[in-house]
Amino acid sequence: MPKHTSSGAPKKARWTTEKKSAAAKKPHRGQGGPKTSRPAPAGTSHVGGREWRAPREDRRDDRPSFDRRDDRGERRSFERRDDRGDRGFQRRDDRGDRGFQRRDDRGDRGFQRRDDRPSFERRDDRGERRSFERRDDRGDRGFQRRDDRPSFERRDDRGERRSFERRDDRGDRGFQRRDDRPSFERRDDRGERRSFERRDDRGDRGFQRRDDRPSFDRRDDRGERRSFERRDDRGDRGFQRRDDRPSFDRRSDRGTDRFVDRAPVSFEDAEVERMDADNWTKATRADISDGPVEVAADNGFAALGLPERLVERLAREGITTPFPIQSATIPDALAGRDVLGRGQTGSGKTLAFGLPLITRLLQAELPRRPRKPHALILTPTRELAMQISDALEPLVHVTGLRHKLVAGGLSYTTQINALNKGVDILIATPGRLNDLLERGAVEMDDIAITVLDEADHMAEMGFMAEITTSLDKIPSDGQRLLFSATLDRGIDTLVEKYLTDPVTHSTNDATASVEGMDHHVLLIDPQHKKVITAEVANREGRTVVFCRTKLGADRIALQLREQGVMAAALHGGLNQGQRNRVLGAFRDGTLPVLVATDVAARGIHVDDVSVVLQVDPPADHKDYLHRSGRTARAGDKGTVVTLALPHQRKTMERQLKDAGLDIAPVRATPGDATLAATGATTPSGVAIAEDDFQRLIAGPKAQRRGPAGSRGPRQGSRGGFRPHHGGRDSRSDSRGDDRRGRRGDRAEGLVSRWGDDDRSGDRPARRGARF
DNA sequence: AAAAAAT
């Protein structure tokens, strides 16, 4: 029915394609139009006036695992108990609260929920309530899973057994889960410890908390000091665990055996690695103890109607003049309108949606409620989610709001705990978000603002089903912001389904982003690819090499190292710890060449990438623009080199045209002048020692024990990776009081350095670029 | 093909 909910645009090409493929995979389910009717009035401020959605049924059914845990209380520490009692009450309140409204609401949501459960009623209800998409989605997912999985080789192996049961009785999952996840318990332990530590910290932070103590909790969520304390605690925790539940330890150890090919063999190693990964947002805490900052009378952000606190915080970093995309979208977004924003790569889209989002939440003064965030920012990759989280952190911080990063590869515990405590802004990747939704750890009832970053990418096949799963749970009267450097028709389905009377802001043409760049398309012979790649990559400054596959990335990185160019691969086949370390090292400057799949194609900001080298041509012109956009950020210069084999020439020419570039491919051979013109030089040819490389990207366990194979001679705690103390380079920190000093010390790991260098005020050239 | 959840 509601096919014409929103403005015009009746094209359904994408939809059809998607439908087709879904139907092909899952023949038993019919097709249906997009559901979600959006009765919502357009363009009004929803946030303030919005009623709280009646949550739903008792959680008990939905989240057996939690209840179970509660029941099991024995092991719980004291803190835990307090915690529990606390939570118990809250929950009950919640429930009671809902009592009345729930009924109204039930038709709406209560049932949906039930669908997730294995119960019978569900079937009855489902037919109607359930959107078709949802079903397709589900079937789809089942299939996709299988197809998709191969790439996650490891998981495949691991999941083998499970996949059986899983698939057949997905609804049953609740039960299996119980058996399956001993590790949660362990994590519970971790959680406990944290609350312990928290206490110690409390005194520490008394000051900042006065307002409504966002900092305390937020920090807690982020585990900021964890890396710090962890060290002291480590042994401790080990013991506790052993005493408490040896059986679980054993089990999980067994579990990690499946990671045969990887360094961490023990559970502890894996866990430490996880924690490390989860740890890296932490270093970016803003320091609010700094004195007030002059906000110039002509501050452009103030003029846009943003609150003083935000304006001041931005000014503190030298950000006083909004970029075009920001000037264009912020007023409309502040007014509560749905926005489609297209701004060139590196043009500050994060702030364009981040600032109005924060502002509106601030104005709305929504009560913070467990598991019910008020805003959601969805991104296609974990790294991007982290980057956004870090970029917004200081702004969220000064407004007393809380945000939380919810993404795969990071600990569930911190995420769930944070959600339970109440979070305003959720920054998420689709998979983990859906996971947490299924677990009942997060609910969308109170989401008032939704942002889709890289929206066109999210609208592509592989993502669509997953994001609609989440988006369908969001009240339809909220505000929605879709952003990307390339917004094409692919997003029509999304726009139609989820946006109401959107305003489109397109600053420049999508191709304007390429202006600061030199583009070279080199026609080469296959046998020269390896050498030419090395020559182009061997230069001053940072280089990002893009290739099509994960194996390709690994191989090319290896080949580069063999030729004397220090390079490391970044792709989704690595665990999060590895991903973080590699990207951290690249941001850091310790790794000059990053060889990445398209995981790094969008949104990732690294300063001073001088060259983007595309060893494999991009899939389409949009990818060309996004990949290229890793260089020449925020007005900087950059070079883009694309290698094309003879048979790829035509494709490349078309892409260049579509991208609006007037570039002709030129022939190139190793050592040739064309190459030199791009800054290429001949590498030493002396292979980089594997040890040196490993040290560069080694995880914390390698620090303690050495690499998996040669774990004999100890390499001191200063293996280059984690200069825990000292080793602080001179970068950054235009403002440094003792507090920052402390933070710097403990945040020195490569991993936890995200926005750090970006954030320093002494790099005017790139000011604001990280946003 | 990649990405996004894997206890």
Alpha carbons within 13 A on the beta-carbon side of A471 = 33
- The average confidence (pLDDT) of chain A is 65
Give the model's confidence band at A575: pLDDT under 50 very low, under 70 low, under 90 confident, else very high: very high
Q: State CA A110 to chain mean position distance.
A: 29
Q: Is the CB of A177 under 7 A from strand B?
A: yes
Joined together, the tokens standing for residue A112 give: 């949906």
Integer distance in angstroms from CA A738 to C1' B4?
40
| N-term to C-term CA, chain A | 40
pLDDT of residue A514: 59
pLDDT of residue A516: 81
As a dihedral over the C-alpha atoms of residue A410, residue A412, residue A417, residue A418, rounded to 10 degrees, the angle is 40
Integer distance in angstroms from CA A100 to C1' B1?
50
Integer distance in angstroms from CA A550 to C1' B4?
15
pLDDT of residue A711: 36
Helix ranges, A666-724 (H): 673-677, 690-697, 700-705
Lowest mean per-residue pLDDT among A392-406, A469-483, A672-686: A672-686
Q: Is the CB of A407 under 7 A from strand B?
A: yes
Integer distance in angstroms from CA A301 to C1' B4?
35
* Amino acid letter for position A595: V
- Please state, in angstroms and rounded to a whole number, the distance separating the CA atoms of residues A167 and A173: 9
Q: Is the CB of A255 under 7 A from strand B?
A: yes
Integer distance in angstroms from CA A548 to C1' B1?
7
DSSP state of A106: I
Joined together, the tokens standing for residue A3 give: 């096919």
Give the model's confidence band at A507: pLDDT under 50 very low, under 70 low, under 90 confident, else very high: confident
Integer distance in angstroms from CA A155 to C1' B7?
12
- Please state, in angstroms and rounded to a whole number, the distance separating the CA atoms of residues A70 and A596: 43
Integer distance in angstroms from CA A554 to C1' B1?
15
Backbone dihedral angles phi then psi of residue A397, each to the nearest 5 degrees = -60, -50
- Please state, in angstroms and rounded to a whole number, the distance separating the CA atoms of residues A770 and A587: 12
Mean pLDDT (whole number) for A499-519: 78
- Please state, in angstroms and rounded to a whole number, the distance separating the CA atoms of residues A694 and A708: 11
Cross-strand pairs, A376 = A426, A450
C1'-nearest nucleotide to the CA of A166: B6
Q: In terms of pTM, does the model score above 0.75?
A: no
- Inform me whether the pLDDT recorded for A26 exceeds 90: no
pLDDT in tens, A529-554: 999 999 999 998 899 999 999 999 99
Mean pLDDT (whole number) for A587-608: 94
- Please state, in angstroms and rounded to a whole number, the distance separating the CA atoms of residues A146 and A165: 14
Write out the H or E segment, with its range, that includes residue A569: strand A567-570
pLDDT of residue A216: 29
Q: Is the CB of A597 under 7 A from strand B?
A: yes
- Please state, in angstroms and rounded to a whole number, the distance separating the CA atoms of residues A497 and A46: 18
pLDDT of residue A625: 92
Lowest mean per-residue pLDDT among A216-225, A285-294, A384-393, A590-599: A216-225
DSSP state of A672: -
Q: Distances from the Cα of A121 to the Cαs of A176, A260, A472, in angstroms?
A: 21, 44, 21
- Please state, in angstroms and rounded to a whole number, the distance separating the CA atoms of residues A640 and A281: 30
Q: Is the CB of A674 under 7 A from strand B?
A: no
C1'-nearest nucleotide to the CA of A256: B7
pLDDT in tens, A423-454: 999 999 999 999 999 999 999 999 999 999 99
Token pair 């109204």 is found at A104
> How, if at all, do strands A403-406 and A425-428 pair?
parallel
Integer distance in angstroms from CA A412 to C1' B6?
11
Integer distance in angstroms from CA A430 to C1' B5?
9
* Amino acid letter for position A598: D
Integer distance in angstroms from CA A550 to C1' B1?
9
Joined together, the tokens standing for residue A66 give: 């939690």
Q: Is the CB of A256 under 7 A from strand B?
A: no
Cross-strand pairs, A121 = none
Q: Distances from the Cα of A126 to the Cαs of A31, A134, A472, A522, in angstroms?
A: 15, 10, 15, 56
Q: Is the CB of A198 under 7 A from strand B?
A: no
Q: Is the CB of A626 under 7 A from strand B?
A: no
Q: Is the CB of A161 under 7 A from strand B?
A: no
pLDDT of residue A480: 97
Q: Is the CB of A548 under 7 A from strand B?
A: yes
C1'-nearest nucleotide to the CA of A178: B7
Residue at minimum CA to C1' distance from nucleotide B4:
A431
pLDDT of residue A634: 76
Q: Is the CB of A433 under 7 A from strand B?
A: yes
- Please state, in angstroms and rounded to a whole number, the distance separating the CA atoms of residues A371 and A374: 10
Question: What is the DSSP annotation of A223-291?
Answer: TTTHHHHHHHHHHHHHHHHHHH-HHHHHHHHHHHTT-TTSS--SHHHHHHHHHHHTTTTGGG---TTSP
Q: Is the CB of A571 under 7 A from strand B?
A: yes
pLDDT in tens, A338-363: 999 998 878 889 999 999 999 999 99
- Please state, in angstroms and rounded to a whole number, the distance separating the CA atoms of residues A44 and A489: 26
Q: Is the CB of A435 under 7 A from strand B?
A: yes
Nucleotides in chain B with any atom closer than 7 Å to protein CB: 1-7
Integer distance in angstroms from CA A694 to C1' B6?
27
Closest residue by Cα to residue A679 from A514, A518, A557, A515: A518
pLDDT of residue A346: 80
- Please state, in angstroms and rounded to a whole number, the distance separating the CA atoms of residues A486 and A343: 8
pLDDT in tens, A119-157: 333 333 333 333 333 333 333 333 333 333 333 333 333
Integer distance in angstroms from CA A568 to C1' B4?
22
Residue at minimum CA to C1' distance from nucleotide B2:
A598
